[in-house]
Amino acid sequence: MFLPDVHAEPDTEVLFQFIKENPLGLLITGINSTSVDFLQCTHAPFVLDLPNAGDNTTPRLRAHVAKQNPQVKAMIETLDTKPSETITLDQEVLVLFNGRHDHYVTPKFYTETKPDTGKVVPTWNYSAVQIYGKLSLYYDSKTPETGAFLGKQMHDLSEQCERSVMGFTGDGDRPQPWKVSDAPERYVELLQRNVVGIEIEIRKVEGKFKMSQEMRPGDREGVVKGVSRALTQVGVTCMGIHLYVPRQ
């Protein structure tokens, strides 16, 4: 990721909060394989585990994906390990999280600089966070370790999405969240046999908030108004369009 100082976000807590608010990540690997492409990617919602205060553990990401996924096949093919064991890849992996709002920025939005000098060009505003880390694969749901991992992962992910994404908290007139235990036990066991668990020890996290903060105040205001107007015209909700104030 290209990180000019004006766009880079150095605060790790802000970056982790971004992941919590945008949990759908793109898992990217580069693995030599005789059967699938070297570069593989998979979209998956992640759970972020942060250490408690005073705890020396490393932040981790958790997810689960289909066992028949070509990316999983590449991981298994290149390792001299029994599939029933937990597998740790030698290569680092990359996970990319994108913000929910991005938009093309026409020079017409720069209402201060365009009339003054005309020295403006189009761009695209967006936000993104990426992590590098070591991936462990939980392959066989019949083993106690993998079974426990998948059970916790499915429970935590459904809780996260039901409560944070859907707002199903059971408070007031809000519905109760769906729980994994609401599904038949044998059905859940069948699903677990057909997925693998993924745990990533985070080694590096970096993020970028490209929101025209390098532009003059009038231009930034013009971008906010212009994007909001453009989204309204096409019937898209304007939630999340805001002015990113540059750090002094």
Q: Which has the closest alpha carbon to 195: 77, 72, 84?
A: 72
CATH of the domain at 203: 2.30.110.10
Cβ-based neighbours of 15, under 8 Å, separated by 6 or more: 9, 129, 205, 206, 207
- For residue 17, the enclosing domain spans 8-105+124-215
In a domain, 223, yes or no: no
In a domain, 66, yes or no: yes
In a domain, 138, yes or no: yes
Token couple for 119: 């020295």
Distance, CA of 78 to CA of 221 (rounded, Å): 52
In a domain, 114, yes or no: no
Q: Which has the closest alpha carbon to 206: 93, 135, 128?
A: 128
The pLDDT value recorded for residue 79 is: 73
In a domain, 32, yes or no: yes
* 131 vs 55 pLDDT, higher one: 131
pLDDT one-digit tens code per residue, 198-248: 999 999 999 999 999 999 999 999 999 999 888 787 664 444 444 444 443
Token couple for 68: 């028949």
CA contacts within 13 A on the Cβ side of 131 = 26
The pLDDT value recorded for residue 165 is: 93
> DSSP E strands: which ranges in the chain?
8-9, 24-30, 39-45, 47-49, 60-66, 87-98, 103-105, 123-138, 195-210
Distance, CA of 40 to CA of 31 (rounded, Å): 8
Q: Tell me the chain's radius of gyration from C-alpha atoms.
A: 22
Is 42 a residue whose pLDDT tops 70? yes
The pLDDT value recorded for residue 82 is: 66
Structural domains in the chain (count): 1
Q: Which has the closest alpha carbon to 155: 178, 191, 190, 180?
A: 180
Q: Is the dihedral of CA 199, 200, 202, 208 positive or negative?
A: negative
The pLDDT value recorded for residue 55 is: 79
In a domain, 1, yes or no: no
In a domain, 229, yes or no: no
Token couple for 228: 């909001």
Distance, CA of 131 to CA of 206 (rounded, Å): 7
Is 150 a residue whose pLDDT tops 70? yes
In a domain, 246, yes or no: no
Query: If DSSP codes are grouped into helix, strand and coil, which group holds residue 148?
Result: helix
Please check whether residue 149 is in contact with residue 138, taking contact to mean a CB–CB distance below 8 angstroms. yes
The pLDDT value recorded for residue 235 is: 60
